[in-house]
Structure 1
Amino acid sequence: MNFKGRTAIVTGAGKGIGRHVATLLRERGAEVVALGRTAADLETLAAEIGCRTITVDLGDAVAARRAAEETLPADLLVNCAGINILEPFLEMKDESFDEVQAINVRAAAIVAQVFARDVIRRSVPAAIVNVSSISSFLGFRDHAAYCASKGALDGLTRVMANELGPHRIRVNAVNPGITLTELARVAWSAPEKGGPMLARTPVGRFAETGDVAETILFLLSDAAAMIHGHAMPIEGGFLVN
């Protein structure tokens, strides 16, 4: 998977999966434009891998569109930005629901729309990967807003694939299970919390950020030329139980 000569946009690049994706893309020859909300995270990323950065709150639709326009031209897009606000359904606040949808779904749609319009104008092939979650398939307690957003992102992915495929733009989603980012490693380390989830995972471990990043790069690459419009679980078999 050599991406030399190609430019990749990665949202949510300051931490976790997005940061790992940006790093691997840069290692494999791509020019990377990293978008994130925290300037300090992007500064350290730029120092580590030599990428261009844009600090933006993607929950602001106007700012998201402006930032997306600043990234152009590009050949690859990874929509990785996402948040979660844990609330029981009966206590879920309107503003919490709206904030999660704005970042997890609307921002992905805006950035992809700006990206795809430019790709079509230039008449070049391209690929998009939306980072969803197994929460689009399952109803985890206290995750109403998050599960709704990831289900919506999968639906958006299918529509994008249907409409953008004829323009030589491939679109897929990845759906990780528990992935051991720095925060998640702490959150799931307690046996009483992580144990039941791990027991249901046939491969016997949770995903690392590299497991997800490598799958994303595969879907971006020409090796995945006939994979289009799919939501790909990355969960070690969790869903088979």
Structure 2
Amino acid sequence: MATRNGTPMFDFTNRTILVTGASGGIGGATVRLLLQHGADVIAAGTSEENLAPIVAETGVRGLPFDLHSEDAVRDALAGLPLSGVVNCAGFGGEIATPQETDIKVFDEVIAVNTRGALLVTKYAAQSMIAAGRGGSIVNVSSQAALVALYGHVSYAASKAALDSITRVSALELGRHNIRVNSVNPTVVMTPMSAFYWGRDEIQGPFLEAMPLGRYATEAEIAAPIVFLLSDAASMITGVSLPIDGGYTAR
């Protein structure tokens, strides 16, 4: 097992990691994998009701708060001794062309995927800086931030902005030994994505264009997230990592 100063690089013992969107597929898989590596995980979501299944299954602490509200995010994160954050909360929005886009939906996609992640980064970073022990933040972005996808103008904009926030945050927070990276997954067949990507006429051409030719699993996204949180990635910051079966390499 690879070690750093005698400690396993994937040992999260005595490290508290906040995972937003923990009630979702990727968020839940990330919570489970972090627990396997000894982390103290805080599962964040929109409500106690939404978090109840993952809390009951894993025994982690649930932390409901409203990502739309800066006051709610600040109050929820105040005093938390965080070593890491996974910004996994997301809203898929709609499938629409630019000329058909519902601006109210666009605003909501930006509010959750971009503004919400920035708010969590803002207050988590303040806590990490105050503690003086550094930390790692991983933003869950999308392949839609890297290449154009039909119907994804709102979602793509929100995730491209998140990648920019990732890079700027890495630049600003590096002096505090806080690393900031993003992962950019291809489609995972969650309930949020199945309504569109599960259609034969959509998934057929899409998978034909992907070198590995299949959608990703939740576990295949969680593993790189945990890697980027870990000491194994101690020299990696400011990266947007495609987890897309080679789709964006075309």
Place the TM-score, normalised by the shorter chain, in its bin: over 0.9
1:75 and 2:83 aligned: yes
Q: CA deviation at 1:187?
A: 4.5
Q: Does the 8 Å CA contact 1:136/1:147 hold for their aligned counterparts?
A: yes
Q: CA deviation at 1:34?
A: 0.8
Match of 1:116 in 2: 125
Match of 1:165 in 2: 174
Match of 1:240 in 2: 249
Write out per-residue CA displacement over residues 204-232 of structure 1, whole angstroms, 9 at most, x where no aligned residue.
Answer: 21110100100000000000111110000
Q: CA deviation at 1:26?
A: 1.4
CA distance in structure 2 between the aligned counterparts of 1:126 and 1:209, rounded to whole angstroms: 24
1:97 and 2:106 aligned: yes
Write out per-residue CA displacement over residues 182-217 of structure 1, whole angstroms, 9 at most, x where no aligned residue.
Answer: 443564333322111111111121110100100000
Pairing of 1:138-153 with structure 2 (within 5 A): 138-153=147-162
The aligned length equals 240
**SS in structure 2 at match of 1:97:** helix
In structure 1, stretches of 5+ residues that fail to align are none
CA distance in structure 2 between the aligned counterparts of 1:34 and 1:136, rounded to whole angstroms: 26
Task: Report the aligned-residue RMSD.
Answer: 1.5
**SS in structure 1 at match of 2:78:** helix
Pairing of 1:126-137 with structure 2 (within 5 A): 126-137=135-146
CA distance in structure 2 between the aligned counterparts of 1:185 and 1:24, rounded to whole angstroms: 24
Q: Does the 8 Å CA contact 1:219/1:227 hold for their aligned counterparts?
A: yes
Answer with 78-87 or 228-237: which moved more: 78-87
In structure 2, stretches of 5+ residues that fail to align are 1-9
1:36 and 2:45 aligned: yes
Q: Given the two structures, how large is their TM-score scaled by the length of structure 2?
A: 0.91
CA distance in structure 1 between the aligned counterparts of 2:13 and 2:220, rounded to whole angstroms: 22
CA distance in structure 1 between the aligned counterparts of 2:150 and 2:71, rounded to whole angstroms: 32
Identity among equivalent positions (%) equals 42
Match of 2:19 in 1: 10
CA distance in structure 1 between the aligned counterparts of 2:136 and 2:245, rounded to whole angstroms: 25
Query: One-letter code of the match for 1:140?
Result: L
**SS in structure 2 at match of 1:75:** strand
